[in-house]
Amino acid sequence: MSKPAATLTDQLGILKSRGLVVSDEPFALHCLEHHNYYRLSAYRFPFTVQGDPDSFIPGTTFDQLWDLYHFDRTLRQFVLEAVKRVEISVRSRLAYEIGHQLGPLAYLESKHFSNQLIHERTLSRLHSEMERNKKEPFIKHHRHVLKMKWPPIWAVVEIASFGVLSNLLGQLSPPSLRQSIANTYQLDEKTFCSLLHHLSVMRNTAAHHSRIWNRRFVVTFQLPKKKPAHLWANFHIAPPSASKSSQKRESKIYNTLVLLVHLMRIIEPTSHWPQRLVDHIKTLDPTLTPDMDFPADWESRPIWQIGATT
């Protein structure tokens, strides 16, 4: 049997009964009114007694809960900003290399892709995306003026979702063609393709306002061990002898942020995004950064040195 719906006052009462200190009740009620008790309560776990998620550590305040929620909300904005830059760049590079190496409509031919079934599904998704954008002037121009059912690759990428772009690149054959795109970002093609898949999932998670600050992502990516060599020192990697829980931490956001900084420095070298990201991370209580898989010495690692090129 489902629980009855609780009023805002009841919701606040539940938090207080579990030991949460609320100094400004009108503010807390306002937050619950606009941000949903269920959403906010997901941020309580770092502040609860180990083994008892319904009991707050003595002295924990609502402000701490709200500050963590706000930190995560802003972190999502940082991630979306960077991933959008990556997406636009990949659209350009994918269109250029396919168009010049294979031809304007080669993306329609299964012979250029390693898995025919995935290619067919990708084209089906791409067709749906074109139908949703059929009133776009360039789609109408190609269909009605040029009499082309499918536009050339440099046009179609402009309406393709990040997931479709990731699928096209990941299945593109031969590998040397994928590498010609990955070279732009100084990465091995296997690393780059797996990273794009991961970023497409992360983008969707962030775009749907879901928690990302300490999330363990199921879709991970291959770390670049050799190319570029200077990046390896920045990753947080559990040793082979570490516990399974320590190894699982690698699927949290820290290593993703390392690669986003790397990509942003290539795509927009004058951007202040890395500096703003560092400033934002420093607003988080340092005792909580390990929950994001940040190593204790993260600030001293090369990638986080502002103005550094490595």
Whole-angstrom distance, CA of residue 150 vs CA of residue 23: 61
Where is pLDDT greater, at 199 or 306? Answer: 199
Beta bridge partners of 52: 49
Given a cut of 60, whether residue 308 has pLDDT beyond it is no
Q: What is the pLDDT of residues 84-93, one digit of tens each?
A: 999 999 999 9
Q: What is the pLDDT of residue 309?
A: 44
Per-residue b or e along 113-145, where b marks 16 or more CB atoms closer than 10 Å to that residue's CB: beeeeebeebbeebeebbeeeeeeeebeebeee
Q: What is the pLDDT of residue 3?
A: 77
Q: What is the pLDDT of residues 31-67, one digit of tens each?
A: 999 999 999 999 999 999 999 999 999 999 999 999 9
Q: What is the pLDDT of residue 1?
A: 65
Average pLDDT on 241-269 reads 81
Report residue 307's pLDDT band, with 50, 70 and 90 as the boundaries. Answer: low
Given a cut of 60, whether residue 196 has pLDDT beyond it is yes
For the chain, the distance separating the N- and C-terminal CA atoms, rounded to the nearest angstrom, is 57
Q: What is the pLDDT of residues 286-298, one digit of tens each?
A: 999 999 999 999 9
pTM listed for this prediction: 0.91
Q: What is the pLDDT of residue 243?
A: 52
Closest CA to 263 of 253, 250, 273: 273
Dig out the tokens for 290 from the structure. Answer: 């390990």
Give the mean pLDDT of the chain. 92
